[in-house]
Amino acid sequence: MDVINVKSVYEELKKNRARMGTVIRAVRRGDLDGFTPPSTLVGEYNYPSVSVGVMFTLDENAQIYDSPKHWAENGYDIAKILSLRSLLINGKESINVKRPDARTMENITMATLSEREVQISMDVSGLPPAPLYRNDTAGGLDVRIRGFRLNENVRMGRTVEKVYYDRDLKAADGILVLYNDKVDESKISRILSVGAMGSKRKLVPTKWSITAVDDILGKTLEERVKSLHRSEQYFVKTGSFLGNRFTFIFLKGPWSFELVEAWNRDGAAIFCGDSDYEFYSGRKTYAKNTAGAYYAIKLAVLEKLESLGQQCSVIVIREITPEYFAPLGVWVVREGARIALSGDVERFDVLESAIDKAGQHIIYLKNLDTKSRLLHYERTQRGLSSFY
């Protein structure tokens, strides 16, 4: 791990020492009054009896503690994000997704649907050691909820309210309605996770709901992109975010997509990682090699293609550098890809010129020809059109 990164985290956490002491003393009293951003976390372990958590802070400016889009837009570094998350309390309760406790889930659901911070009270027990990370996202103290109540009426956004009360609206359609109204994907996935949308409602583990939202939105945009004119040029776009380097190579031809991930474990410039891909007809199985990152980056790429008004085959190389030393969640690759894709692309008439340009940015993956299926097909089959 980079020494500078370790020092920056230490300095941020050191600033929080007094505030963390206040949090710990409040937990030990067992009766908490404060705010949820709003934020909930549904676990996947021991499904269908899962842990449902409500994130809680003593700070009335709670939204900043769980706002990935705000963090990305305002240039928060990893140390700052870890610092914020370390001050959260995760009040958890074990709930069966098939037979949830009605009263508890009503409060959790209402808090999740709120468009702003919600003042709440918790009766809690337990004070385990505070983990630095949990479930691929930074977290604070885990405590057990003995009682949970809302101290104010919840105000929902108009579209969120419509989706919540429409029991005939399918979950996939509700996700699209919220997305089209500019509701943040993190918010949409939480609403899906607590079973607050769709005709058949149930709790969904947060990790599953995040990927489900990205996948559903991606498939919708994919159909739009397939109707666009096929590009007659090659494009290249590069960028970085929180130690993640992105290189996008847009090839001529019909829509297809590939994500290649690379990193080095020992400081040497060698390839470690894997890839997933799909052709025009799409995937029929989960992208298990690159997991949630595949669907998150695919969504960002499709958004870019729609803005360009062109259809392409796209290869993405995500390189994870030592700077990205703490797992912060799938939002990092979604927002990072969007940031990297912002602005103009570089255009090329010749494939090799585009590959050479991309190669100037790539630091680990020096053998792209052997790692990228789409590039191999592009070169050996004179374009991908013969595969559709």
Q: Where are the domains of the chain?
A: 3-150, 158-225, 229-387
Q: Please report the pLDDT score of residue 191 as a whole number.
A: 96
Q: Does residue 70 have a pLDDT over 80?
A: yes
List of long-range contacts for 75-81, beta carbons under 8 Å, 24+ apart: 77/8, 77/242, 78/5, 78/8, 78/9, 78/242, 78/243, 78/323, 78/324, 78/325, 78/326, 78/328, 79/5, 79/8, 79/9, 79/11, 79/12, 80/12, 81/138, 81/328
Mapped onto helix, strand or coil, the DSSP state of residue 251 is strand
Chain mean pLDDT for the chain: 87
- Distance, in Å, from the CA atom of 136 to the CA atom of 260, rounded to the nearest integer, reads 20
Q: Is the pLDDT of residue 79 over 70?
A: yes
Per the listing, tokens 């498939």 go with: 219
CB-CB contact of 234 with 348 (8 Å):
yes
Note the pLDDT of residue 365. 76
Range with the poorest average pLDDT among 75-89, 234-248, 277-291, 334-348: 75-89
As given in the structure block, the two tokens for residue 53 are: 């958590």
Kindly report the CA angle at 297 between 171 and 379, in degrees rounded to 5?
Answer: 125
Instruction: Note the pTM of the prediction, 2 decimals.
Output: 0.90
CB 211 within 8 A of CB 223: no
Task: Rank 55-59, 96-100, 223-227, 267-271 by mean pLDDT and report only the highest.
Answer: 223-227
Q: Could you tell me the CA-to-CA distances from 62 to 16, 55, 65, 88, 374 in Å, in that order? A: 16, 10, 6, 9, 44
Residue 370 clears pLDDT 60, i.e. is over it: yes
pLDDT band at 382 (very low <50, low <70, confident <90, very high): low
Asked if residue 129 has pLDDT above 80, the reply is no
Q: Give the least confident one: 8-17, 187-196, 350-359.
A: 8-17
